[in-house]
């Protein structure tokens, strides 16, 4: 499998569009926009600056840890292990495990993408990874406590159960109809990770 | 530093230590993977942080609550789920905001749709998701999460009056 991936990455010349680093382009457009907004609207800008700074501090703490965990998983966890517990034949146990893994509170959703990519590359089922990401996004114990506090137990409980059911159904739909022929992690996403 | 962060850091430290004790070379390989991933995602994550700052600074919570609160019924659900998909707000702000939405007259359905799309659908980090998991995966997940949000909202609306 990794052989095919490599030939895709190196075999042809990249077009101009592919060579632009969109992430840097966007970042370097956002920085002046942010600065101008903050200078022109000092009051609202102050809040924006405060929020961005708090967020930055939180990310500076969590991100390196998340990537180290990703690195450790990619090196230590055998493909066979992931296939057995999260792969095609993992069944209900795979669903339950995906939910539990996703519910560990580790920060915002986009932090989970690299972890999801590693698990997929090592043979996890697409449906299970959708469950993992959905649980990561909206089933977090600290968040549930806040929801309970602000919106009441009935709302929280009904939303929780409805989300559980809909997410499992949804993941099956995506897995069956969109990835019938299997799934490949993008070439550039995981340099140096063995499948 | 909150408890979650401390737990994550402690856990990571423990795992890293264990890895070093067991096999130094493998640990080095793991750190190389971690470093590459970190550097690759850093610009996108910095961009997300700036966008979140701008959203919270310049899109007042009161305005969101008013817009969703004023429009009841199907239109309210539609607006709420769209706003939830486009915006990116940490839960610490999202739940009090949802409360004030209800207080301003938003339906329970619209409120549920807002929270669900807010957490599950992310236009702000769609480029990052495409980069990591592929275009097809990212678009399928976001589109169907959007549909799921509406379904969840309707279920909640039916069960709670």
With respect to residue B96, please indicate whether it lies within any of the assigned structural domains. Answer: yes
Cβ pair A174, A130 in contact under 8 A: yes
Cβ pair B125, A110 in contact under 8 A: yes
CB-CB neighbors (< 8 A) of B27 in chain A: 72, 75
CA nearest A186 in B: which residue? Answer: B134
Quote the minimal CA–CA distance from A92 to chain B in Å. 21
A110/B37 touch (CB, cutoff 8 Å), yes or no = no
CB-CB neighbors (< 8 A) of B41 in chain A: 63, 114
Quote the minimal CA–CA distance from B124 to chain A in Å. 10
Q: Which of A55, A74, A133 minimises the CB distance to B33?
A: A74
Taking the alpha carbons of B103, B105, B110, B114 in that order, is the dihedral positive or negative?
negative
CB contact A166 to B (< 8 Å): yes
Instruction: Tell me: do B71 and B100 sit in the same domain.
Output: yes
Which position has the token pair 């390196």?
A64
CA-CA distances (angstroms) from residue B54 to A41, A52, A126, B40, B101? 11, 8, 34, 23, 21
Instruction: Tell me: do B111 and B34 sit in the same domain.
Output: no
With respect to residue B50, please indicate whether it lies within any of the assigned structural domains. Answer: no
Quote the minimal CA–CA distance from B97 to chain A in Å. 9
By C-alpha distance, which of A95, A29, A27, A105 is closest to A66? A105
A37/B58 touch (CB, cutoff 8 Å), yes or no = yes
B148/A117 touch (CB, cutoff 8 Å), yes or no = no
Mean pLDDT of A10-23: 67
Q: What H or E segment, with its residue span, contains residue B4?
A: helix B3-22
CB-CB neighbors (< 8 A) of A146 in chain B: 91-92, 95
With respect to residue B47, please indicate whether it lies within any of the assigned structural domains. Answer: no
CB contact A182 to B (< 8 Å): no
Instruction: Tell me: do B17 and B94 sit in the same domain.
Output: no
Q: Which of B27, B47, B56 minimises the CB distance to A27?
A: B47
CB-CB neighbors (< 8 A) of B92 in chain A: 146
CA nearest B108 in A: which residue? Answer: A155
Quote the minimal CA–CA distance from B7 to chain A in Å. 9
- Here the ipTM equals 0.86
With respect to residue B136, please indicate whether it lies within any of the assigned structural domains. Answer: yes
B30/A68 touch (CB, cutoff 8 Å), yes or no = yes
A59/B49 touch (CB, cutoff 8 Å), yes or no = yes
The percent of residues in chain B predicted with pLDDT above 90, rounded, is 32
Q: What single-letter DSSP state applies at residue A111?
A: G
By C-alpha distance, which of B115, B84, B99, B105 is closest to A159? B115
Q: Binning pLDDT at 50, 70 and 90, where does residue A17 land?
A: low
B51/A30 touch (CB, cutoff 8 Å), yes or no = yes
The pTM (predicted TM-score) of the whole model is 0.85
Cβ pair A82, B94 in contact under 8 A: no
With respect to residue B82, please indicate whether it lies within any of the assigned structural domains. Answer: yes
Cβ pair B144, A126 in contact under 8 A: no
Instruction: Tell me: do B25 and B67 sit in the same domain.
Output: no
Kindly report the length of chain A: 195
Cβ pair A115, A131 in contact under 8 A: no
Cβ pair B124, B88 in contact under 8 A: yes
CA nearest A149 in B: which residue? Answer: B95
CA nearest A178 in B: which residue? Answer: B140
pLDDT digit string (tens) for A40-90?
999 889 989 998 998 899 889 888 998 999 999 999 999 999 999 999 888
Burial (0-12, 13-18, 19+ Cβ within 10 Å), A13? exposed
Residue A8 reports pLDDT greater than 60 = no
The rounded distance, in Å, linking the Cα atoms of B145 and B115 is 12
In this prediction, residue A93 carries a pLDDT of 93
A76/B144 touch (CB, cutoff 8 Å), yes or no = no
With respect to residue B48, please indicate whether it lies within any of the assigned structural domains. Answer: no
Burial (0-12, 13-18, 19+ Cβ within 10 Å), A117? buried
The rounded distance, in Å, linking the Cα atoms of B99 and B54 is 23
Number of domains in chain B: 2
Residue B51 reports pLDDT greater than 80 = yes
CA nearest B158 in A: which residue? Answer: A158
Residue B91 reports pLDDT greater than 80 = no
Quote the minimal CA–CA distance from A52 to chain B in Å. 4
Helix residue ranges per DSSP H, chain A? 2-10, 16-19, 22-40, 42-76, 79-86, 91-103, 112-121, 126-138, 141-178
In this prediction, residue A2 carries a pLDDT of 40
The rounded distance, in Å, linking the Cα atoms of B161 and B117 is 21
Instruction: Tell me: do B34 and B67 sit in the same domain.
Output: no
Instruction: Tell me: do B36 and B68 sit in the same domain.
Output: no
Question: Taking the CB of residue B38, how many other CB atoms lie within 10 A of it?
Answer: 18
Q: Binning pLDDT at 50, 70 and 90, where does residue A5 land?
A: very low
With respect to residue B54, please indicate whether it lies within any of the assigned structural domains. Answer: no
Instruction: Tell me: do B65 and B35 sit in the same domain.
Output: no
Residue A11 reports pLDDT greater than 60 = no
Query: Could you tell me the residue range of the domain that residue B15 belongs to?
Result: 1-41
With respect to residue B103, please indicate whether it lies within any of the assigned structural domains. Answer: yes
């Amino acid at each position: 499998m990794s052989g095919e991936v490599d030939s895709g990455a190196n075999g042809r010349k990249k077009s101009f569009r592919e060579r632009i680093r969109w992430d840097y382009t966007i970042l370097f457009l956002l920085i002046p926009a942010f600065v101008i907004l903050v200078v022109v609207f000092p009051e609202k800008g102050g809040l924006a600056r405060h929020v961005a700074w708090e967020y930055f501090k939180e990310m500076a703490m969590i991100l390196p840890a998340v990537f180290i965990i990703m690195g450790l998983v990619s090196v230590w966890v055998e493909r066979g292990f992931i296939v057995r517990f999260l792969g095609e034949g993992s069944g209900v146990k795979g669903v339950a495990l995906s939910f539990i893994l996703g519910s560990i509170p580790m920060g915002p959703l986009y932090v989970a993408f690299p972890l999801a990519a590693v698990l997929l590359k090592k043979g996890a089922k697409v449906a299970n990874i959708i469950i993992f990401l959905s649980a990561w996004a909206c089933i977090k114990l600290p968040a549930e406590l806040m929801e309970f506090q602000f919106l009441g137990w009935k709302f929280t409980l009904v939303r929780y159960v409805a989300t559980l059911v809909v997410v499992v159904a949804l993941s099956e739909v995506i897995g069956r109809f969109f990835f019938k022929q299997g799934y490949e992690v993008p070439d550039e996403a995981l340099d140096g990770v063995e499948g | 530093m909150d408890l979650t962060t401390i737990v994550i850091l402690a856990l990571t430290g423990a795992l890293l230590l264990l890895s070093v004790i067991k096999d130094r070379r493998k640990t080095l390989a793991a750190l190389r993977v971690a470093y590459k991933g970190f550097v690759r995602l850093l610009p996108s994550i910095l961009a997300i942080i700036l966008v979140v700052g701008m959203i919270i600074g310049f899109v007042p919570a009161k305005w969101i609550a008013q817009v969703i609160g004023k429009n009841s019924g199907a239109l309210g659900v539609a607006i709420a789920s769209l706003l939830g998909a486009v915006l990116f707000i940490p839960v610490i702000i999202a739940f009090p905001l949802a409360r004030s939405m209800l207080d301003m007259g938003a339906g329970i359905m619209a409120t549920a749709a807002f929270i669900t799309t807010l957490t599950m659908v992310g236009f702000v980090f769609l480029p990052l998701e495409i980069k990591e998991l592929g275009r097809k995966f990212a678009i399928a997940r976001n589109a169907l999460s959007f549909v799921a949000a509406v379904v969840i909202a309707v279920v909640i609306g039916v069960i709670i009056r």
